[in-house]
Every structure is written in structure tokens, then in C-alpha cells.
Amino acid sequence: MMRLLAALLLLPLSGALAQQQSGEPSGGAPSVQSAAPEVGAGRGGTGNANQPASSDPQSVTGGPRPERVAPKPRVPVEPITAPVPYSARGGVEAGALEAQHAEKGGVISGAVSIPNQAAGILIQPEGRDWRGFRTRILSIAGAVILLGTVFILAGLYLLRGPQRIDAGRSGRTIHRYGVFERMNHWMVAVSFVLLGLTGLNITFGRAVLRPVIGAEAFTALTWTGQAVHQFLSFPFVIGLLAMVVLWLRDNLPSKVDVAWVKAGGPMAKGHPPAGRFNAAQKALYWFVVGGGILASVSGYLLMAPGLLDNVTSQQWAHVVHGLMAMVMMAAIIGHIYIGTIGTEGAFEAMATGQVDYNYAREHHSLWVDDRLAEARRTAVGAD
Amino acid sequence: MARMKFLCDSDRCIECNACVTACKNEHEVPWGINRRRVVTIGDGKPGERSISMACMHCTDAPCAAVCPVACFYGTEDGLVLHDKDLCIGCGYCFYACPFGAPQYPRVGNFGGRGKMDKCTYCAGGPQQDNSAVEYMQYGSNRIAEGKLPLCAEMCSTKALLAGDGEIIASIYKERVQQRGYGSGAWGWRTAYKEELPA
Ligand code: HEM
Ligand code: SF4
Ligand code: SF4
């Protein structure tokens, strides 16, 4: 008690205490000892604020205030509509909304408070269409295209047999592909075949392989196959780009190609003239480059889902990838047939880089003329 | 056996996200994966409504139809569960699922998908019931303990119902009858080819 009294005495008496004691004779210990909390700097005041002595209304400080003008409503006035009765609010009905979206497509979505904003899609009836594509269209069309190609080629081989070199082998060869061209071709070829096989395992393995080897073994195989598919995408794409650089010039379409097609192309009697690549080879080239780019871009979008955080786009990426893969595989099966057992003398071009002179004369007459003319020029120049 | 279903009464859901939190906690679902989420349609506008959504355990499940390794299996209760030891993380189930239920940790090659994770209806996976390995892969198995999914069990407004499809449908119908309105059972048409009266 004594300590409290002493503390009070020591307080600077200019502020709150002095005010509280107004009316009392000053000097000496105050009779009222309940110290009202000081309104000081620490409390947001100015440090010497007055403590009101009574609850009478205080006069306004700081001079007269400007009269407040009530805000005027904007013209024209927008009436605030009364809230809809609760029972009639937002007349959405789940079943009807789902039916409508299932009919017309489009997702039912809203806001979510989790970081994954893609989760805002509540219902995406398109999943049903994509399921139909995956389980019916892609697998059935893929099987039909691939098996159909194999059957047609088998029939062709049995009925017509391989296309022989009409003049027979000359015994002399002409240089057709450099070592870099061949290495690049085989890099693309090997990765394509493995991409195709691992991809087909994704499409058909469940129905074909899984019942035979069992669920665990099939997952182990597919798991490895998926990694192979992903890693081989890089040599495939790099090789494809190298093909663009190496063979673009020789694959630009020209008038000769029109004549080649008009003459009947591969069905023609005799051999219509062609440059380094004939029109069919050019068509395959552009198909593989274009299709390869589409398959690669869509493949990477599937592979790294972070790139496309939207289920609808991912479905489209898969549709493009699956369809492109199937038609490219069919085309490449045809390419493999023509390049191996279908045409006498063709395979050695990519194996050794040399083709028989007569083969070159028959299939690529204009190219041979060019090569000979160039050889003569250099020979003359060297003289 | 009963045909287990989920039903979210969006006229009751207050978007408190307790179901989301309960699920994450019960199963120790990893960061970045949400087996359940609450979607608010028309957020901030009159008539906004929130729906808690997870795997609906569809009849004729699209995810199971497209899985290239066929890792899904159905249970006696009509649940759609999957075997993580078989999954290759291809993402196809996510493309096919109408409800965006399948989720993936980003652990594959090139930031690709890891093994799929989704709502198990608190029923674990193919491992031994309530074993440590089952808990690690799928979370707890409340169904094996005779309990219903935790999200619905702890929903404060009982908006989210889980249980036998016919029982929860009759609870919902009774509510609609009593209060005179209801926006229907979200996802039921898509998941079960069945609609409840609004
Ligand atoms: C070059 C880049 C490519 C990339 C990045 C790529 C990536 C992918 C990915 C991520 C998938 C999804 C399946 C899974 O994750 O296991 C896939 C599927 C598939 N890919 Fe590729 N791929 C590429 C090229 C190719 C090529 C050239 C072919 C054809 C020879 C091909 C054939 C397939 C097939 C058939 C499927 C299965 C489609 C299905 O059944 O749903 N891919 N690819
Ligand atoms: S909600 Fe999605 S994940 Fe669940 S059963 Fe249906 S399709 Fe499969
Ligand atoms: S991600 Fe797994 S569960 Fe889903 S479809 Fe692919 S393999 Fe099947």
C-alpha cells in the first residue's frame, strides 16, 4: 500500500489525476486513489489527453464541421432486386444439368479452395465420349488398319511377288545414302518400332497379353514398356528433325511427281521417270514428318501432364496421339514391305549405302542422270 | 449386399471443407492430392451451391473400362477399388472419369504421373485389411471395421451422405418432401444412371 501511494505521489500530476481532482482542494494526497487508466501516447492518444469528468455531452473540438451531404443515387436508378425466396433460388437441378451437358458436351465446373484449380471441374460428361474412343474406336480402328495393311501386303506379295529389277543386276553400284543418313534412318526406325510395340501393348496388351502372362508380369512389362516409350521419344524426335534437314530439298514436290502419278505410279507399265525420291516416297516423307511431329507433340503433352492441366485438352492430345500412331504404323508397315521383300535391290540402299546401277536407272532415272552429270563435271574439273 | 453410394445434398452443404480435411487426415493423403474436394458453382452469386465430390464408385465404371493394365476391381458393396501394385500411372482413368477423382503424385519420369490415388470409400485396397502396408498405400480401412466413410460421418450439416444407395436416397427424398425443394443428387445420373426427384 505504501509503495502504491508513493508511486501515485511521484506521478506527474498534470494529466489525468489533476483533472479527476478538480473541485477538490489541491495539494496533499488525493482522497480518491483509484487511478483511472491514463490515456497516453501508448494508447493512441497524444500523451496529455483529458479524461472526461462527467458523461455530459462534450462540445465538439476542432471548430465547426462541414455538413455531410447524403450521396445521391445514380441516375437512372438501378433497383436492387429482392432476393429470390430460398426455395426458388438457382433453379439448377443436378439430373437435368447433367443430362444437358451429356447431350451438348462441356463441363460443369465451379470454384475450389484447394491449390489444384483443375479440380474445379465437377462433372465432365466428355469422359464418356473419350472412353468410347479409347475402348471402341481406337482399338477397333487400330486393329482393322494394322491387320488390314498386313493382309493387303501379304496378298500383294503372294499374287504379284516382289518387284524385280527388270534389267537384272548390273554388278556395278551407285552411292545412294551417306553413312550419316543411314545411321539417322536406323535410329528413327529402331525407336519407331519400339515406340510402336510399346504403344500397341498399351492399346491391346490388356486383351491379348495379360490373360496369357498374368497381371503382375503384364504390369512389369508395361511399366518397362512405358519407360522405353518415354525415353525413346528423344532419339525419335531428334532423328525426325535430322531427316527434315537432310532430305527436305530432295522431297520438295515438282512437276516430275505429277507426271509420275499420272503415269500410274507404282502400278505403271515400265518405270516413269523420278528424281532421288519418287512421288510416293515424298508423300511418305511428308506424312512421317507431319505425323511424327503431331505424335511427338501430343505424346509429350501426355507424358508431362503438368503442361496441360486440363482434362479436355489431355483427352484431345490422346485422340491425336492414338490416331496418328495407328495410321503411321500402317504406313510404316507398307514402307518396310516395299523397302525389304517388296522390291529387289532396295534394302541394300539403307544397309550399305550402295544400290545396283540398274535398280537406280529404273526407279530413279532423273537422279541417276544428275549423279552422272555431276560425276562427269568433277571428272572434267579434275583433268 | 448393399450397394454403397455417396450423395451430396447441395442445399445443405455449407462449403466448410470438413470432409476434405477429414479425408486427408484419416488416410494421410500426400500433399497435392485431394481424394475429396468441395466445388462451389456460381460462387458469390445468388443461388450458389457447393457440392462435395470424390470418386462416386460408378456403376459400369469408366476408369475400369479404359485402364490398360486392368487394375480396378469391384467389391461386394459395389465399390470401385484399384490395385496400386498394378497401376502404371498412365492417366487414362483420369481422362475417362466424369468426376476428376483419380489423382497422381508427380513422381514419374519427366514430372509424369506416379501411381494413381483416389477415394477408396474408406475401404482400403487389395492388401490384407487394416495391415500397415494397406494403410501406407490406400489409407485406413473403415469399411472392414464396420464403419462408414469418415467424410460423411463427420459432415456437420449431414449434407454428405454415405451408405446403402437405397437408404440414403430415401433420406434425401424425405428431406426434399419436408422442406419442399432440392436440387437433386449431384452426379447420380452420370455415375449410377439414376436420378432423384428435385
Ligand atoms: C515421340 C514422342 C512420343 C511420346 C512422347 C509418346 C508418349 C506417349 C504417352 C505418354 C502415351 C500414353 C500411355 C502411357 O503413358 O504409357 C503414349 C501412348 C501411345 N503411343 Fe506414344 N509417344 C510418342 C511417339 C509415338 C509413336 C511414334 C508411336 C507409334 C509408332 C506411338 C504409339 C503410341 C500408342 C499406340 C499409344 C497407346 C495409345 C492408346 O492405346 O491409348 N507413340 N505415347
Ligand atoms: S468416379 Fe471416377 S474413379 Fe470413381 S468409379 Fe467413377 S470413373 Fe472410376
Ligand atoms: S493410371 Fe493406373 S489405374 Fe489409371 S488407367 Fe492408368 S494404369 Fe489404370
List all residues whose CB is within 6 A of at least one atom of ligand 1.
A 134, 138, 192, 195-196, 199-200, 202-203, 226, 229, 233, 236-237, 295-296, 299-300, 302-303, 321-322, 325, 328-329; B 90
Q: Band of the pLDDT at A57, cuts 50, 70, 90?
A: low
Rounded Cα distance between A180 and A188, Å, is 12
> Does residue B91 lie within any of the structural domains?
yes
Of the partner residues A120, A130, A222, the one whose CB lies closest to the CB of residue B68: A222
Q: Domain extents for chain A?
A: 175-377
Q: Which ligand has the shortest distance to the CA of A145?
A: 1
Q: What is the mean pLDDT of chain B?
A: 92
Q: Please choose, from the candidates A190, A178, A180, A167, the residue with its C-alpha nearest in 3D space to the C-alpha of residue A354.
A: A178
Chain A interface mutation, best of B24, B39, B50, highest count of A Cβ atoms under 10 Å:
B39
Domain count, chain B: 1
User: How many beta carbons lie within 10 A of that of residue B146, not counting itself?
Assistant: 6
Q: Band of the pLDDT at A233, cuts 50, 70, 90?
A: very high
Taking CA atoms, A305 is separated from A297, B112, B123, in Å, by 12, 6, 28
pTM of the predicted model as reported, rounded to 2 decimal places: 0.82
* Peptide bond between residue A76 and the one before it cis (omega within 30 degrees of 0): yes
- Judge: B99–A230 Cβ closer than 8 Å, yes or no: no
- Judge: A122–B53 Cβ closer than 8 Å, yes or no: yes
Whether ligand 2 lies within 6 angstroms of the CB of B61 is answered as yes
Chain B interface mutation, best of A219, A232, A298, A314, highest count of B Cβ atoms under 10 Å:
A219
Q: Please choose, from the candidates B68, B162, B163, the residue with its C-alpha nearest in 3D space to the C-alpha of residue B116.
A: B68
The string of pLDDT tens digits covering residues A335-375 is: 999 999 999 989 999 999 999 999 998 999 899 999 899 88
> Does residue B86 lie within any of the structural domains?
yes
Q: Band of the pLDDT at A22, cuts 50, 70, 90?
A: very low
Q: What per-residue confidence (pLDDT) applies to A59? A: 64
**Amino acid, single-letter form, for residue A102:** A
> Does residue B66 lie within any of the structural domains?
yes
* Helix (H/G/I), strand (E/B), else coil: B80: strand
> Does residue B30 lie within any of the structural domains?
yes
Q: What per-residue confidence (pLDDT) applies to A21? A: 46
Nearest CA to ligand 2 atom 6: B58
CATH number of the structural domain A175-377: 1.20.950.20
CA of residue B123 to ligand 2 center, whole Å: 15
Q: Which ligand has the shortest distance to the CA of A190?
A: 1
> Does residue B197 lie within any of the structural domains?
no
> Does residue B64 lie within any of the structural domains?
yes
Q: For position B122, which CATH number holds?
A: 3.30.70.20
- Judge: A216–B183 Cβ closer than 8 Å, yes or no: no
**How do strand B160-164 and strand B72-74 relate by DSSP bridges?**
unpaired
Nearest CA to ligand 2 atom 7: B97
Q: Is the ipTM of this complex over 0.85?
A: yes
Domain of residue B61 covers 4-192
> Does residue B198 lie within any of the structural domains?
no
Q: What per-residue confidence (pLDDT) applies to A48? A: 55
